[in-house]
Amino acid sequence: MAIRKIVKLGDETLRKVCRTQEKFDLRLAILLKDMADTMYRAEGVGLAAPQVGVLRRVAVIDIGEGLHEFINPVITSREGSQTGREGCLSLPGRQGVVTRPNKVTVEYQDRKGNHCELTAEGFFARAVCHELDHLDGTVYIDVMDRELTPEEIEGHIPEDDAE
């Protein structure tokens, strides 16, 4: 198990547009394993490669229903909308309210380079949008409706009832 350091807001790595992952090799497998280990250790539900300092279009997500690995992901359709709280391992201690599509279809490659497609709804769709944004240098605070106060982070907000 290799835990990588998660870069924090202010590090310019988070603001770069990531390059296409071209090679589906051992190096990618190690990156994916390390990213999953790092995400689980930090108790996050998603992690994008730039968050561990790697400027490649790679992300992992596990909202509690199993690990998903996305290589070169592209959202091909968006439906509906949801408004709810969101945080990021690169912005510890902060949360915002972000409006996202309620349902997205994403085309991507798996670790072997196979082309795949998946439809995500609800919180999974939110996580997909959040992680894919990272691959283009976008962080949730760039697209949020509002930032939560420390009291709101600990407590209940109207948007919590929306789901």
Question: Which residue out of 12, 65, 69, 131 is catalytically annotated?
Answer: 131
Catalytic residue at 131?
yes
Q: Does 132 bind Ni ion (CB under 5 A)?
A: no
Considering only CA atoms, which of 68, 92, 84 is closest in space to residue 126?
84
CA dihedral 153, 157, 162, 163 (to 10 degrees): 30
Q: Is 13 or 24 the residue whose CB approaches Ni ion more closely?
A: 13
Q: Specify the amino acid at residue 136.
A: D
In this structure, which amino acid lies at residue 81?
S
Calpha distance 136→47 (Å, rounded): 14
With CB under 5 A as the contact rule, which of the stretches 35-43, 62-70, 81-89, 155-163 interacts with Ni ion? 81-89
Please identify, among the stretches 22-30, 35-43, 56-64, 88-96, the one whose residues bind Ni ion according to the rule CB under 5 A. 88-96
Stretch that binds Ni ion, among 5-13, 61-69, 82-90, 113-121 (CB under 5 A): 82-90
Among 88, 97, 106, 125, binds Ni ion (CB under 5 A): 88
Beta strands in the chain (DSSP E): 46-48, 58-61, 68-79, 82-86, 96-100, 103-109, 115-121, 146-147
Q: Which is nearer to Ni ion, 9 or 29 (CB)?
A: 9
Q: Classify 52 as helix, strand or coil.
A: helix
Residue closer to Ni ion, measured from CB, 83 or 113? 83
Active site residues: 131
Which positions touch Ni ion (CB under 5 A)? 88
